[in-house]
Chains A and B, each alone.
Chain A
């Protein structure tokens, strides 16, 4: 089946079987391997992408279901060569070690903070409870998220708070 959607601002097309998940479509049909498949049963969150502004598990979404959607993956977060403030905060706080869960952490936090720039630590941890990390123990990821809020608040402008 032919599917068409927008990924990181570009229009893309793929020919997929109905059973192809969005995760596999992004990774293997579109060559966007930044989204990772850590479990393929909707628990680990490494496959998280942003679909129409919402963070979703791409291993639990069929590519055909995403037809027509606007999708943002980890590859779309940086501004050309410049890391986003969230990505920079991750580097500063050593919020990644092996890097495998990192894509999902970034997309989840980008979705959350875009929506709730003043999310407090409890809210951030609550949302991140859907993303498994085995290396960092989560503490530096939360620190990075807290630091990045300032940027999202500024971006939202008068709406913030």
Chain B
């Protein structure tokens, strides 16, 4: 492996850019097949009820309509979508691929119209008659948890699963602590909102009994396995093809009902079936995320040392448990106090079903929420204790002496296994961040009113979990011209893996990067792969590539030794050339020309990586409008080792801006009838180019990751995690004279204004 003049560590411009810049990307709606039909989904407009009538006669008579699929066409029992992780109680809450007896959320698929074009399919949707006998919907997790109205008859209640995280003896610690404080927090329902909506194109090859599904993302191999099971096919008869993907952020790529429905229709009618989600539909059909209520308690010594934390979260997971629906639930309790050394923890999180669109993961799932709860709790405690809140961080943050530091274990066991923070000194990124931010200089502004606005500064410390296991696969083939095709199981979702993996492969092979081509994601490329989630692609895919290269170079060396008729130890390898001591040489191209030269690698790891860092924010709050301007935002993280600083920086900044959207403007609001009140991009408000221009992201490489050959830590999600905590702490700092303590997101201008008015009224009442 190359050790000088490496590609790794250089800000190399992305190889995938050319086609996107030229408008030659191939996203799912850009491809078509002869004879294809278009699918449009008929969705429930009632949040909870029993289907009493489903009449497709009028719709079938509409121009261009070929067929309509309902539950009646699908062999019972209606397949349910498999879970990605084991859990003892969630089985009854699995999502059926189509509603048959009950509908449980507005947007649930009820029928599929198949027509000659998307226009004609949509015209017919309005003609499908669906009569639903409504039942009283439940739209609040805590009410639902009380369980008087069961969403699923026959279950014991509406809590699909309860996770606990316990270590030490929190009760004892709370009993003797000189300071304890309880607070309630809430994060709103929102969603990843990639710029490309979802889409799939399913083809059934009858003569081969083979199904091809294009439009895969994130985890094509799991989805293939799931699809094969649900369609009654061997896994090897199903291909999931990954094209270009317009963003994922955790939401796109999981197995959804539509995956099955288009495949089912393709096989039943023997026509390629194309389905493109429209944006309005997207809001009720894509995975929602993040909605949870938390009651958190902290126990401290007078000097701010945290003795214990405990709490209960109710996570509103929507109507069904999605394949990864429990990930945020178990994550929030593992990560609420995660960058800190707290020996006594006792958290409980309930995953509660409600009559809303099912929820799953969104970048930093459970971690964004947990960091918000913890960082606010720390600042509230510090203020009341009269302790400097930075000192409180320093006192409690994990240092290199604590490493490896076991994170609190989660019950029930779900296959994630135990986890420990791998390496680092979390105080270093704190100090570095404060310095970059200019904390000392900005301190004087905190809480002051200038030109009608209150200024405030705040911090948030975080860790992000990366390199999710269990393994990843790669293989490579040397072509007769000496170029190398590298196949890897990681999925591209915009993060630049064609470039990053090429950097790694080229360094491992010691050949120019231009001679390496990365092929990714599709199940046709590898026997086994896993995908891109939990910030794993660089570490898992990259490490698998290194192993595949090692495997091939071993074979190459053996070949050379045989060719030169010398012992193996006399063959040296460098820059893609094998040499004998007497100067004879053999290039990769020459070797590949005479016979197949390939390598395979599978990198396994049950040890996750933990990128960590600190963010600091400076805000100015207009108390009359509730408007907040982020005047400066600095985040410093340590990723162990940077493969490509250009793309890494892009990940952190992009994630930070998403975080601002979570804090200030995004909200999937439901009314009491379970109707989603947001159905367009005019109402679902994500950050614009005018909103957050002042972001600085700095990456350190002081503590390499100890458990992978790259020494790198996954870093795709860290950018979003501290935004909630850091920014709301800054707002609290700004409004400290008014005693406004934000505990709920989002802080839209009207909501912040209401908090300010409430605080003013309370202050007046006291006078």
Q: Do chains A and B touch in the complex (CB under 8 A)?
A: yes
Complex alpha-carbon distance, A126 and B19, angstroms? 27
B706: Cβ under 8 A from any A Cβ: no
Instruction: Convert A28-46 into 0s and 1s, putting 1 for each residue whose CB lies closer than 8 angstroms to a CB of B.
Output: 1000111111111101101
A88-114 CB contacts (< 8 Å) to partner B = 90-92, 94, 96-103, 106
In the complex, which residues of chain B have a beta carbon less than 8 angstroms from the beta carbon of A160? none
Q: Contact check, B247 vs A40: say whether CB atoms are below 8 A apart.
A: no
Binary A-proximity of B4-32 (CB < 8 A = 1, otherwise 0):
00000000011011111111111101101
B493 touches A (CB below 8 Å):
yes
Nearest-CB residue, chain B, relative to A142:
B689
CB distance A141 to B689 under 8 Å? yes
Please give the distance in Å from A138's CB to the nearest CB on chain B.
4
Are A137 and B246 in touch, CB under 8 angstroms?
no
Q: Which of B26, B196, B682 has the most CB of A within 10 A?
A: B196
The answer on a CB contact under 8 Å between A140 and B650 is: yes
Inter-chain contact A99/B246, CB cutoff 8 Å: yes
Contact A44 B681 (CB under 8 A): yes
A11 to B462, CA, bound (A): 56
Residues of A contacting B649 with CB < 8 Å?
94
Q: Does B175 count as interface, using CB distance less than 8 angstroms? A: no
Q: Are A38 and B17 in contact (CB under 8 A)?
A: no
Q: Is B688 an interface residue (CB 8 A)?
A: yes
Known: A40-B278, A134-B194, A136-B654. A125 touches B23 (CB 8 A): no
B496 at the interface (CB under 8 A from A): yes
- Binary flags per residue of A16-36, CB closer than 8 Å to B gives 1, else 0: 010100000001100011111
A32 to B25, CA, bound (A): 11
Q: Per a CB cutoff under 8 Å, which of B196, B647, B689, B692 touches A98?
A: B196
For A101, list chain B residues within 8 Å (CB). Answer: 195
A100 in contact with B246 (CB, 8 Å): yes
- The reply to whether B693 and A39 form a contact with Cβ atoms under 8 Å apart is no
Question: Are A132 and B195 closer than 8 Å at their CB atoms?
Answer: yes
Query: Is B194's CB under 8 angstroms from A98's CB?
Result: yes
**A78: chain B residues within 8 A (beta carbon):** 21-22
Q: Mark A70-87, 1 if CB is under 8 A from B, else 0.
A: 000111011000010001
> Are B693 and A142 in contact, CB atoms less than 8 angstroms apart?
yes
| Residue A58 interfacial (CB < 8 Å) | no
Decide yes or no whether A128 CB sits under 8 A from chain B: yes
Check if A87 sits within 8 Å of B249, measured CB to CB: no
Q: Does A64 contact B (CB under 8 A)?
A: no
Interchain nearest-CB distance for B270 vs A (Å): 23
Residues on A with C-beta less than 8 A from B32 are: 28
Determine the distance from Cα of A129 to Cα of B24 in the docked complex, in whole angstroms. Answer: 25
Given A39-B279, A44-B681, A98-B494, A32–B695 Cβ distance below 8 Å?
no
> Chain A nearest CB: distance from B194 CB in Å?
6
Q: Which residue of the partner chain, among A33, A92, A125, A134, contacts B686 with CB atoms under 8 Å?
A: A134
**C-alpha gap A132/B193 in the complex (Å):** 11
Q: Across the interface, do A97 and B681 meet the contact criterion of CB distance under 8 Å? A: no
Tell yes or no: A133 within 8 A of B by CB: yes
Indicate if the CB atoms of B20 and A99 lie closer than 8 Å: yes
Complex Cα distance, B657 from A125, in Å, reads 15
Do B23 and A129 touch across chains, with their CB atoms under 8 A apart? Answer: no
Interface pair A41/B194, CB less than 8 Å apart: no
Rounded to whole angstroms, the CA-CA distance of A89 and B715 in the bound complex is 25
B165-208 interface code vs A (CB 8 A; 1 in, 0 out): 00000000000000000000000000011111100000000000
- Count of chain A to chain B residue pairs whose CB atoms are closer than 8 Å in the complex: 171
Q: How far is the CA of A136 from the CA of B646 in the complex (A)?
A: 12
Q: Are A132 and B681 in contact (CB under 8 A)?
A: yes
> Separation in Å of the A47 CB from the closest CB of chain B?
11
CB distance from A142 to the nearest CB of B (A): 7
Given A100-B196, A103-B23, A136-B654, A43:B682 Cβ within 8 A: yes
CB of B632 within 8 Å of the partner chain: no
B window 641-687: CB within 8 A of A: 646-647, 649-650, 653-658, 680-682, 686-687
In the complex, A12 has a CB within 8 A of chain B: no
Question: Which residue in B17, B249, B647, B688 is a CB contact (below 8 Å) of A91?
Answer: B17
Q: Does A19 lie within 8 Å of B119, measured CB to CB?
A: yes
Q: When the two chains form their complex, are residues A99 and B25 in contact, meaning their CB atoms are under 8 A apart?
A: yes
A73 → B minimal CB distance (Å): 7
- A101, B655: Cα distance in complex, Å: 16
Q: Could you give, for residues 128-157 of chain A, a 1 whenever the CB lies within 8 Å of some chain B CB and a 0 otherwise?
A: 110111111111111000000000000000
Task: Indicate whether B359 reaches chain A with its CB closer than 8 angstroms.
Answer: no
Minimum CB–CB distance for A101 against chain B, Å: 5
Residue numbers in B under 8 Å from A91 (CB-CB)? 13-14, 17-18, 21
Q: Is the CB of B653 within 8 A of A35?
A: no
Residues of B near A125 (CB, < 8 A) are 689-690, 693
- Residues in B whose Cβ lies below 8 Å from that of A128: 688-690
B495 within 8 A of A: yes
Q: Which of A73, A75, A94 contacts B647 (CB 8 A)?
A: A94
A residues less than 8 Å from B551 (CB atoms): none
Instruction: Determine whether B244 belongs to the interface, using a CB cutoff of 8 Å to chain A.
Output: yes
**Known contacts A39-B681, A97-B496; A75/B279 CB under 8 A:** no
Residues of A within 8 A of B195 (CB): 36, 38, 44, 46, 98, 100-101, 132-135
Top 7 closest A-B pairs, CB basis?
A34-B23, A98-B494, A99-B20, A100-B246, A137-B657, A74-B23, A128-B689
List the interface of chain A (C-beta within 8 A of B): 17, 19, 27-28, 32-41, 43-44, 46, 73-75, 77-78, 83, 87, 90-92, 94, 96-103, 106, 121, 124-126, 128-129, 131-142
Q: Can you list 14 A-B pairs with a CB-CB distance of less than 8 A? A: A28-B32, A33-B29, A74-B23, A91-B13, A94-B13, A99-B494, A100-B246, A129-B688, A131-B689, A132-B195, A133-B195, A135-B195, A135-B494, A135-B654
- 19 extra interface residue pairs, beta carbon distance < 8 Å, beyond A38-B195, A129-B689, A138-B688: A33-B30, A37-B29, A39-B279, A74-B21, A83-B22, A91-B13, A91-B14, A91-B21, A99-B25, A99-B494, A100-B247, A106-B21, A129-B688, A131-B689, A134-B686, A137-B654, A138-B657, A138-B692, A138-B693
